[in-house]
Amino acid sequence: MKFYLILIFLIAFLQTAILPVNIILLILIARSFTIELSENYYLALFAGLILGILSAVNLGFWVLVFLVVTKILHILRKLPFTQNILTILPISFLVIYGSLFLESLFFKQSLNFTIVIISTILSLPIFVLIKFWEERFVVRPG
């Protein structure tokens, strides 16, 4: 958990300064698909607060989006069709498109479809990296 907190803190700085892609959302999607723990909700809360503070938008917007996304992905993870690794692509496409739609709706920004496609393509390598990290380097009791 400490690793993800530090990672999200550093990526939040990069995302608000340089990157147009929401990498924090991709990390939350991948972690919620990889492992189902209540720590994901705390991670989503922390990520939303940090991103809200650094991006100078409404402080509760990203918290709400990240918590709802985490809850939806925990529900979807229990379905049998999500056992295939490639199901992360259509689900992440829908989640990313929904979050960008909400962002464009509330903040009066234009919806850039190329960012949705780039984020969807990036979701698979991030998922593989987080799955590898959780399986190899995180020790679970039992």
Nearest to 48 by CA among 80, 30, 70, 77: 70
129/131 Cα distance (integer angstroms): 5
Looking at residue 108, its pLDDT comes to 86
pLDDT higher than threshold 80 for residue 142: no
Instruction: Label residue 31 exposed, middle or buried (CB < 10 Å: 0-12, 13-18, 19+).
Output: buried
Calculate the CA 44 to chain-centre distance.
8
Nearest to 124 by CA among 92, 94, 77, 78: 92
Nearest to 27 by CA among 119, 136, 101, 118: 119
Tens of pLDDT, residues 41-67: 999 999 999 999 998 888 889 999 999
Tens of pLDDT, residues 85-138: 889 999 999 999 999 999 999 988 888 899 999 999 999 999 999 999 988 888
Looking at residue 57, its pLDDT comes to 82
Assign 141 a pLDDT band (cuts: 50, 70, 90): confident
pLDDT higher than threshold 90 for residue 36: no
